[in-house]
Amino acid sequence: MSRTSESVHVWPAAAAAEDDLSSIWNGLVRHPWRLLALLCLIQIACWTVMPALVNVGPPRDVVEGFMWGREWVLLTYKHPQLPCWLLEISHLLTGSFRWPQYMLSQLMISTTFVLVYLLARDIMGPTRAIAAVLLMPSIYFFGWPTPQFNHDYAQMPFWAAISWLLWRSARDGRPGWWLALGLVSGIGLYAKFSTALLLVFGGIWILYDARARSRLATPWPWLGLAVFLGLAAPLAIALFRLDFLPLTYAEHRNAWVLANRARLYYIGVQLAGLAALPAVLAISGLLRRQADPAQDPLPARPAPERRAIVYLAWMGLGPALLIMTASLFIGTGESWGATMYNLVGTLAVALLGQRVGAAELRRLALLATLCVVGVSSAYAVTRWTSCNVLGRLQPMCWPARSISQTAEAIWHETVPAPLGIVGGEDGVAQLAGLEAADQPSIFTTLDRRLAPWITDQRLRDQGMLLVWPTGWRLSPQQQAWIAGLPVKTVPFDWSLKAPPLEISFAVIPPGRTGFPGDPPGPPDPE
């Protein structure tokens, strides 16, 4: 075939493929919810598969959540337990501890994308709403940390839902919106108490905004408030019965951060997490003075009203700025602000939305895809290399299944009854019980105040498997518990390069004399 003949066949095929791609893209632009669905699918797929491929053990917060979730308590000394219930449900549905937690976390992120889209659509239309959501993957908190499903990520969709429902309630005034707002606000407290911070900002906005304030003359906001209080009441009762330990924990944690982190550490982490956003705005063309005139413009729409921009700034930046300021004086955990940046992209598009054209939207879609695929791939490579090449022992390197199977086997060599309780060094003890078929309870820090599901009667009837890594010292009391009992130390391979780690096990059988004694002091917040 001649060169001319070959070109005749190749170029029409390439043109047809380009037309097909153009047709697909035009369909996505005409129906932005399809682009939103595609983004969510990519987010869920990449951030579920990549961590599941390389993480031998779950992140530490996830292990703790699984162990607490099987107790079905309303509150622990740290937080309300909705995230732990969700982890337990994910295990009951799938039978796996390997991947469901990663998918669960991404379902929370994707739900947040959808809720932010709904709010942004109400304010500035569907096309600019999808542009706002496409900015979100460039924010660190929606990517790298998300495999560690914890209370910060469990509450993220609740923050987005509250922001949307409050705007809708104030705009329309219909009873259904106020009831939904009260319901979601109450359930949000079960994810994490800090949801109350957003509720405070929402309450202040209602008093500030004339239209929202006028709704207070109707019964519906007050009915929503009654729903919220009804849902919050069980938590308040549980908090009182637990002697306000979650508040004590938060105070102790803040003091630790203040003593062990630089004064500007928290603010630095937050700014670093947002650092890629200006770059994406610049690359996409949103920082130009107007949309690219060479491209077909998107449907014209008036700029958002001033009160909408005030709302986005207040709800989207207010809590984050307040916590940044507070961190200078009280110390704040570096990830506690993760849920506070849901509306940053929406605020950016509200201010720059008249510059969104077809070319800018196409670039945003491409950059969002690159962020999700590229960062999740980098996560997988980094985690695998850190464990297997650099030999850095991180929670995700621990061979969770092997530790659980070994712990259960050692227990049953001595005791014919099921393994009911594990305790010792918390991180290793949780791994020992995580995948054990007997589904034992964790004796958190060997302190019955912090593990109310562990009673003296259970300890006498069931005994306990004491677990600790090499280098962890048993207290004199714990040494007395296992005096005269055999201790078995087992090596576990965890890296292709580093030596095995060693874990010791001691079976304290049911009916052991002198067991347990007085509980130890309060745990280290880290």
Same domain membership, residue 358 and residue 458: no
Choose the weakest-confidence range: 199-213, 278-292, 333-347, 419-433. 278-292
Same domain membership, residue 37 and residue 25: no
Same domain membership, residue 173 and residue 108: yes
Residue that finishes a domain, picked among 352, 384, 416: 384
Integer Cα distance of 420 and 400 in angstroms: 18
Same domain membership, residue 291 and residue 217: yes
Q: What pLDDT does residue 418 have?
A: 96
Q: Is residue 297 pLDDT above 70, yes or no?
A: no
Same domain membership, residue 374 and residue 242: yes
Q: Is residue 372 pLDDT above 80, yes or no?
A: yes
Same domain membership, residue 3 and residue 118: no
Q: What is the DSSP string of 297-331?
A: PPPP-PPPPHHHHHHHHHHHHHHHHHHHHHHHHH-
Q: Is residue 508 pLDDT above 70, yes or no?
A: yes
Return the ∠ at Cα 224 (arms to 218 and 228), rounded to 5°. Answer: 150
Q: What pLDDT does residue 275 have?
A: 96
pLDDT band at residue 506 using 50, 70 and 90 as cut-offs: very high
Positive or negative, the CA dihedral 188, 190, 191, 193 is positive
CB-CB contact of 160 with 166 (8 Å): no
pLDDT band at residue 523 using 50, 70 and 90 as cut-offs: very low
pLDDT band at residue 288 using 50, 70 and 90 as cut-offs: confident
Q: Does some domain include residue 515?
A: no
Same domain membership, residue 125 and residue 15: no
Same domain membership, residue 256 and residue 165: yes
Tokens of 375: 């960062």
Number of domains the chain contains: 3
Same domain membership, residue 44 and residue 20: no
Same domain membership, residue 262 and residue 174: yes
Helices 175-191 and 220-241 cross at an angle (nearest 10°) of 20
Tens of pLDDT along 158-208? 999 999 999 999 999 899 999 999 999 999 999 999 999 999 999 999 999
Mean pLDDT of 249-264: 87
Q: Is residue 522 pLDDT above 50, yes or no?
A: no
CB-CB contact of 225 with 182 (8 Å): yes
Same domain membership, residue 256 and residue 141: yes
Q: Is residue 235 pLDDT above 50, yes or no?
A: yes
Q: What pLDDT does residue 357 have?
A: 85
Tens of pLDDT along 440-486? 999 999 999 999 999 999 999 999 999 999 989 999 989 999 999 99
496 lies in which domain range? Answer: 398-508
Q: Is residue 521 pLDDT above 50, yes or no?
A: no
Tens of pLDDT along 2-59? 444 444 455 665 555 665 666 666 666 778 999 999 999 999 999 999 999 999 999 9
Q: What pLDDT does residue 298 have?
A: 60
Q: Does some domain include residue 176?
A: yes
